[in-house]
A = this chain, B = another copy of it.
Amino acid sequence: MNRPNPATDPCSLARGLAEVGDWWSLMIIREAMYGTRRFSDFQQNLGIARNILSDRLNKLVERDILRKVDAGEHGTRFEYRLTDKGRDLFVVLTALRQWADKWVFQNEPPFLLVDRISDRPVQQVQVLDADGQPLKLHQVAIAAS
């Protein structure tokens, strides 16, 4: 890691990646979004090594993406639950999921994200301008804030 120190990089993207841009971290977050909360469930569902899982869970707790909660009366079992910050990654993961639906599965993905109530697929995530018009990459710029 000789990245131009991600923790002080002024680019939000780099800083965001420094917090969650790691395969296992993102898989753990996905798993948490599916409802998984226990160490051994993460371990079995993901097939991840226990030391790596332990390390990633600790980092995600440090970064306030997961919260470690006492479950069961006597403090020997725990649950890892998404915080608001963690839940807010939903849109990021959804955008990536849709990208892969389109480009990896050629628009024929095995699973679809649907609205629980109507059971209809969610819309394609987009970048919109202030008037609600879709924007392409070449139509945007980075401005000092």
Task: Tell me how many chains of this kind the complex includes.
Answer: 2
Question: Which of A54-62, A68-76, A119-127 forms part of the interface with chain B?
Answer: A119-127
Contact B3 A47 (CB under 8 A): yes
Interface residues on chain A, number (Cβ under 8 Å): 81
29 pairs across A/B with beta carbons < 8 Å? A4-B46, A10-B111, A11-B30, A12-B100, A12-B111, A13-B26, A13-B97, A16-B96, A16-B104, A22-B23, A33-B137, A87-B136, A87-B137, A88-B99, A91-B126, A91-B127, A94-B127, A108-B145, A110-B144, A111-B145, A112-B143, A115-B140, A116-B140, A118-B129, A119-B143, A120-B130, A121-B130, A123-B130, A125-B126
